[in-house]
Amino acid sequence: MKNISILVFLNFLCFSSSAFCSVEGGLTAYSKKNYTLAVKEFEKSSDSRDVQAIHYLASMYYQGYGVKKNLAKSAALFTQSANQNYAPSLSNLAVMYSKGEGVKKDMEKSWEYQIKAAQAGDAQSQFNLGQMYRKGEYVQQSFPKALLWYLKSAEQFHTPAYNEIGLLYAQGLGIKKDFIIGYAWIYLAAENGNPEAKLNLKNFDQILDSAQKLQGQTIAKSILLQYKESEK
């Protein structure tokens, strides 16, 4: 079985205002690269079962910041916060099980955590599921399901998802082929700095004329505005 391709960065500094209050000292210390103090502060908050503090502490053990690197300890802590359905920890465990980091490699568990993370709203995990369904990795290939998860990820402004949605439209995979809408999504990704999208835009030079490209750019702006409005 091939290694699963999970493009997840260890989610460290993602917090809500309430969690910030409980682990503010640790985050402040971390920002100043005082990792030893950060660990102590996160430990204090984790004692009260603060899910985000436990997640941050797990990240410190994973990276070896302020403590000796200990992947088994990191996995155990991520599991604690994942058991409370904390999306970033669920996502990180999917990676660790896929690589056998701190735990025995288990692709079935990796897949389970990936689904849970996506369902809990983790944008990267939603994108990863889209990739799996598009490629047929560990699941039956389904372009409509790939599109569904890409769209969920895109709603959270995950730029790579814009590019993949555009490609599905341009190729007519899981959706009716539409070069202009495909161009719109890829243009949106390129405008947000996605290097693959910038290359993909060139493929439209022989497909769309200037007026059609302008129409696509207008659609792209409309999509972005719609997402920003729904975020309010």
Closest CA to 79 of 94, 67, 66, 98: 94
In CATH, the architecture of 128-231 is Alpha Horseshoe (1.25)
Distance CA 157, CA 228 (A): 9
Give the tens place of pLDDT for each residue, 172-216.
Answer: 999 999 999 999 999 999 999 999 999 999 999 999 999 999 999
Over residues 112-129, the mean pLDDT reads 94
Statement: the pTM of the whole predicted model exceeds 0.95: no
Distance CA 137, CA 44 (A): 41
Distance CA 100, CA 225 (A): 41
- From the DSSP assignment, how many helices (H) and strands (E) are in the chain? 12, 0
At residue 49 the predicted structure's pLDDT band, cuts being 50, 70 and 90, is confident
Lowest model confidence (mean pLDDT) among 8-12, 77-81, 113-117, 179-183: 8-12
- Which one-letter DSSP state was computed for residue 226? H
- Specify the pLDDT at position 141: 96
Give the tens place of pLDDT for each residue, 64-77.
Answer: 999 999 999 999 99
CATH class of 17-121: mainly alpha
- Looking at every residue in the chain, the average pLDDT score rounds to 89
Same-fold call for 17-121 versus 128-231:
yes
At residue 10 the predicted structure's pLDDT band, cuts being 50, 70 and 90, is very low
Domain boundaries, the chain: 17-121, 128-231
- Specify the pLDDT at position 3: 38
- Specify the pLDDT at position 22: 52
Whether residue 7 has pLDDT greater than 50: no
